[in-house]
Amino acid sequence: MAAPDPAKEATTAFVKAQFRRYYESTKPILPDRFAKREFGFMFWTPGIVQRHLGFSRPEELRSFLTDRVPAHAYYSSAYYEKPDAPTMEEKGWLGADLIFDLDADHLPNASKMSYPEMLEAIRLKILHLYDDFLAADFGFDEKTMRLVFSGGRGYHIHVFDERVWSLGSHERREIVDWITAKGLDVQATFRESAFDATEFKGHTRVKKKVVGPRRGEPGWAGKIGRGIDELMVQFEKMGQEGAVGFMTSFEGVDRGAAESLYESLFKVRATKPRTIRGVDRVREGQLEALPDKARDLLVRLVVDVQQIRLDEHAGVSLEGIVQRGETDEPVTSDIKRLIRMPSSLHGKTGLQVIPLTRDAIDEFRPLRDAVPTAWTDDRVRVNLKNKMNLAIRDEAFDLSPGVNDVPQYLAVFLAARGLATVASEA
């Protein structure tokens, strides 16, 4: 058995004491159909978990939080007849909310980001999921969706529309497939349209043109249309050399073809009554305004770029170009998932799990808005492992390794994240 680490034990005791103060002064936010939910908790000793708990009254939950002081608190996405039954079979499943989870695991370059940068990148992804899929495609009303900052490295969306309660895992996976574009035939969003017909000796000849998807269309056609628009914006920002470099990074695209496409898009064709370029026609869905080879190359690039699973390609950000959304598939498809309880504290940051409206998340910044008001400005002496630059509660800190006296709210954050140990409270 490993010898006790006094500094680690003191640090855990400090964080736990602050958590207790928080729970003693805070009324928990209860989930809908509170008495039908299973609750679960993780504690400060690794591996110690307690679940299969149910509470019939809010006071019981609050007493548990203040007496036991868990590091993490969860409740089930599912509703049960007997949420405190010891086995899943005995609980009597009644239905479940639909849960979406996004955190740093969905960022290819997370290891290169600071904590605030990572949180901002995830915030933008969760908004794309909320606005462009759950609201626009599935028609969920804002009143039946709740955005939640997880307190750690990401955000959740809880959909509690009664139409989703009875969905099984298979149906939930189909929702994930739509969002992540699994099996999407991008080519099919480009369609042929007849525009002229001539008859000769009893035969009819129909002329056809390729019509591209436009941004205002519903579903994936509109998304691809918006992606094309953003790709054109980026091409113009890059200039010819940058755009050609991006195009030729795709296998089989030669420089001459890429240069021809760029010229077809951005060369001015007319100035009266307005300036017209190929790109302006493309934005209107008129792909036939481009020469055949340029048109075919553009379609091919749009198809290829939508298959990329990273956030950038050849040094170019694909935000807005690649339109697919993301979610943690096992979480969304699970009909018995435990999810973090809003208003609880995250044991690895000391930040609150914050429920948010769609309007509120636009200006939400976790290191400013999720720091509990229970944490004070009182000085706490910590032993910092590494140099750190951080802004929290709108105050910037530039700290050197070793002993530092910092506000209690920063000490909790550093201690919970394992970035510092607590020597003593000043």
The question of whether 5 is a catalytic residue gets the answer: no
Say if residue 388 is exposed, middle or buried (CB neighbours under 10 Å; 0-12, 13-18, 19+): middle
> Any catalytic annotation for residue 185?
no
Which pair of tokens denotes residue 80?
């049960």
296 given a catalytic annotation: no
E strand or H helix at 302: helix 292-305
Cβ atoms within 10 Å of 85's Cβ, excluding its own: 15
Q: Which is the catalytic residue, given 101, 105, 131, 311?
A: 101
Q: What does the alpha-carbon distance between residue 154 and residue 327 come to, in Å, rounded to a whole number?
A: 11
Q: Of 5, 254, 280, 328, which residue is the catalytic one?
A: 328
Asked if the peptide bond before residue 273 counts as cis, ω within 30 degrees of 0, the response is: yes
Token digits of residue 14: 């400090």
Could you say which of 97, 103, 280, 334 is catalytic?
103
Q: What does the angle CA 361 – CA 363 – CA 367 come to, to the nearest 5 degrees?
A: 90
How far out from the chain centre does Cα 84 lie? Answer: 32
Q: What is the DSSP letter of 130?
A: I
Q: How far apart are CA 51 and CA 375, in angstroms?
A: 28
CA distances from 370 to 113, 127, 148, 198 (A): 20, 18, 11, 68
The residues annotated with a catalytic role in the active site are: 101, 103, 328
